[in-house]
Amino acid sequence: MSNITRRSFVAGTGATALVAALAGCSGGTTTEGSAAGSAAAAAGGHIVVLTASPDHGWTGQVGAFAQEKVDEINEAGAYTAELQTAGAASDQIAQVEDILAGDAPAGIVIQPLDDTVQSAIQQIADAEIPYVAFDRIIEAVQDSAVANVKGDNSGIGAGSAAYFVENGMNPGDAVYIYQGDTSSVTTLRDNGFTDYLLGNLEFDGATVPEDKKWTQEQIDAAIKKSGAMNWSRSDTKAAFESLLGDEANAQIKWWYAEDDELAMGILEALNGGGITDATKEVFYETKPYITGCGGLNEYYEVIRGNSYQDITENLGGVMSVTYSPSMIQTAIQDMVDHLDGKEVPQDHVIACENVTAENVDDYVGFE
């Protein structure tokens, strides 16, 4: 499949091997030999996959990968499967209610659109239908899931912090974080960044060097946050232009964007006319660094040096942390494995990696 990173992620049938590898070291839901699992495997059954509408970007690719996996299941014949998409949380809640009002499926895989879907997920659990949650994990109901499949959101923050430290960031340096939304995803990405700097979290097997370790007081004083950008490039562009209306903010060197779309918003602002040339000169004097995450090919092209060269030649560097939409296939495979009576890890975290100019050619982004 063209849009899966070559190094990081396992999708489709390969997810079974990943599940087996992780099961031995994670707290899991064991269904081996269970009556429910054996019955489902013997009789087959229907799996419903609920995701966001496949419109564009990361969410759009989640839908594309989900449909691909659904088609694979239907072709294999042991189970039937269908994909339902929704553009709003209210629509997704209605989908769940409709499903529960009919014949109970063998299992449900759900990417909650926001935290208001909690009540619908609780209804699934109360109906004793096994479900797998993907990407947005709602803490209040996570213990009832067969598996909670997600990228390493804490690792995304840690990876960005590690990249900054490797490139000279010192304790107390000013940092600006462009946040995604108000969900647990953003909280984990925020906390991963600061936990790495405090020395409480590893990235790529190592903690922050002792002489680069921050105190909580330094974090509180030096790190500023944007508030929810709603994963929007245009919102970030406007917010960045407004922020640099105060030239003092142009002296910030370290810019942690919690998504590639947000990083592109910064680049588009720098490429446009909403920031004065004088302020841009001040900004570029620091040789600033910008990070993102996700795997957007448009941003990978920036990292490769194939676009926005007039801007990147004035930057210290640009980087992204992997968070592939192909992970939805792992979530669906977890449900298949559960129904087959196999063991799956309940807390199923898929590791991330830093993508820089040095290794970007090892990865394929999504459109």
For 36-75, the pLDDT digits (tens) are 444 444 346 999 999 999 877 788 899 999 999 999 999 9
113 with 147, same domain: the answer is yes
48 with 147, same domain: the answer is yes
318 with 336, same domain: the answer is no
For 288-312, the pLDDT digits (tens) are 999 999 999 999 999 999 999 999 9
pLDDT of residue 336 exceeding 70: yes
Domain hosting residue 339, numbered range: 12-151+325-352
Please give the tally of structural domains in the chain: 2
Q: State the Cα–Cα distance between residues 222 and 230, nearest whole angstrom.
A: 24
CA distances from 330 to 147, 303, 306 (A): 10, 28, 32
For 183-209, the pLDDT digits (tens) are 888 999 999 999 999 999 999 999 999
230 with 286, same domain: the answer is yes
329 with 280, same domain: the answer is no
191 with 48, same domain: the answer is no
Asked if the structure places residue 180 within a domain, the reply is: yes
| Local structure of residue 111 (DSSP, 8 states) | -
Question: Residue 205: which CATH number?
Answer: 3.40.50.2300
164 with 146, same domain: the answer is no
Kindly indicate the confidence band of residue 31, based on its pLDDT and cuts at 50, 70 and 90.
Answer: very low
Q: What is the mean pLDDT of residues 126-138?
A: 96
Residue 253 sits at φ, ψ, to 5 deg, of -100, -25
pLDDT of residue 23: 34
Contacts of 124-127 with CB under 8 Å at 24 or more apart are 124/96, 124/100, 127/100
